[in-house]
């Protein structure tokens, strides 16, 4: 695998961005985990009759939404951890698919990016086709 082309100062910059993003994402995940627990508890309450409440979503719908967001946040956190590991390994900024450099502008926008823009576009096109 190719080595990072970034100077130590640039890697420190990206590590700072990733650590900040990790703290924010972990806090969001913790809050959402609490919300999921509340919905789980409400769903297990035999007296909760939310299916006939015209004023709001059902507990099942709320659970589904929260569960989906929880999964996205957990995957984002894992991606941040993988990016931090690439910094430690000396491979940060290198596309994990083709081994080509990832543009600095892309990494500024998405510090956890593992793919160059070309690979990201190819995968997105394949996913939506």
pLDDT tens, position by position, 78-90: 999 999 999 999 9
String of DSSP letters for 21-55? HHHHHHHHHHHHHHHHHHHHHHHH-TT--GGG-TT
Residue 66 has a pLDDT of: 75
Q: Is residue 25 a contact partner of residue 80, using CB atoms and an 8 Å limit?
A: yes
Q: Encode pLDDT of 18-54 as tens digits.
A: 999 999 999 999 888 877 666 666 656 555 544 555 5
9: enclosing H helix or E strand: helix 8-44
């Amino acid at each position: 695998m190719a080595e990072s082309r970034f100077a130590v100062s640039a890697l420190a910059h990206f590590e700072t961005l990733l650590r900040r993003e990790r703290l924010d994402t972990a806090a969001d995940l913790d809050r959402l985990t609490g919300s999921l627990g509340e919905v789980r508890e409400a769903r297990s309450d035999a007296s909760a009759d939310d299916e006939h409440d015209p004023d709001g979503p059902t507990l099942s719908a709320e659970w589904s939404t929260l569960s989906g967001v929880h999964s996205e946040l957990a995957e984002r956190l894992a991606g941040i951890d993988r990016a931090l590991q690439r910094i430690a390994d000396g491979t940060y900024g290198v596309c994990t698919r083709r081994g080509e450099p990832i543009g600095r502008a892309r990494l500024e926008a998405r510090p956890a990016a593992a793919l160059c823009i070309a690979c990201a576009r190819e995968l997105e096109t394949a996913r939506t086709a």
